[in-house]
A and B are shown apart, each in its own frame.
Chain A
Amino acid sequence: MTKADLVENIYLKTGFSKKESAEIVEMVFDIMKTTLEDGNKIKIAGFGNFVVKDKATRRGRNPQTGEEIEISSRRILTFKPSQVLKAAINELEG
């Protein structure tokens, strides 16, 4: 599934034109990106949470050469799926 499929679903289920649906999908992800870039989390009930975390500097290794290197501190984005989504994904398996 890509943005095009989301646009199609919105077009089919609402009264919006394809062009409007495409603009709306862009806006949704734009709002989400801006929120996360500002360091804020997004909690979507039934889907999951997008959380921005600060990671401290740590020592690591280049797995190819074994050389020890310093991994600088950074801010990362993680996704924690909701229980509901996890249950739904496993249920279809039967």
Chain B
Amino acid sequence: MNKSELVEALAARNGLTYKKSEEIINIVFDSMAETLTTGGRIEIRGFGSFVVKDYQAYMGRNPKTGEVIKVRPKKLPFFKVGKELREKVNGKA
């Protein structure tokens, strides 16, 4: 499922126009991205949570050439799946 299929599924479920549904899906993911960009965490009950983790600089290697390179400090978003969804995905619930 891609974003436009999610927009269609929401429109079908709620009787919304495609345009209105698209506006909502954009608000949802734009506000989530905005929260992560400003370092905030997201907690969606029944779904999961997102946090941004900090990574220190380290010495790495270019896997192709073997050349040693310095990897700069960075931040990466992480998703932790909620218990209920984790179990359902695994077919236990």
> Which residues of A does B touch, CB under 8 Å?
1-3, 5-6, 9-10, 13-14, 23-25, 27-29, 31-33, 35-37, 39-48, 50, 52, 74-79, 81, 85-86, 88-93
Interface size class of B (residues with CB under 8 A): 35 or more
A-B contact pairs, 6 of them (CB 8 A): A6-B27, A25-B28, A28-B24, A31-B9, A33-B85, A77-B86
Establish whether residues B29 and A47, one from each chain, have CB atoms under 8 Å apart when the complex forms: yes
Chain A residues whose CB sits within 8 angstroms of the CB of B14 once the complex forms:
23-24, 27
* Alpha-carbon gap, A91 to B89, bound state (A): 34
Establish whether residues B74 and A90, one from each chain, have CB atoms under 8 Å apart when the complex forms: yes
Interface positions of B from 22 to 56, Cβ below 8 Å from A: 23-25, 27-29, 31-33, 35-48, 50, 52
* Alpha-carbon gap, A4 to B79, bound state (A): 19
B8's nearest neighbour on chain A, judged by CB, is A31
Chain B residues whose CB sits within 8 angstroms of the CB of A23 once the complex forms:
14
Chain A residues whose CB sits within 8 angstroms of the CB of B2 once the complex forms:
42-45
Query: A13 touches which one: B27, B32, B39 (CB < 8 A)?
Result: B27
A50's nearest neighbour on chain B, judged by CB, is B79
Chain A residues whose CB sits within 8 angstroms of the CB of B61 once the complex forms:
none
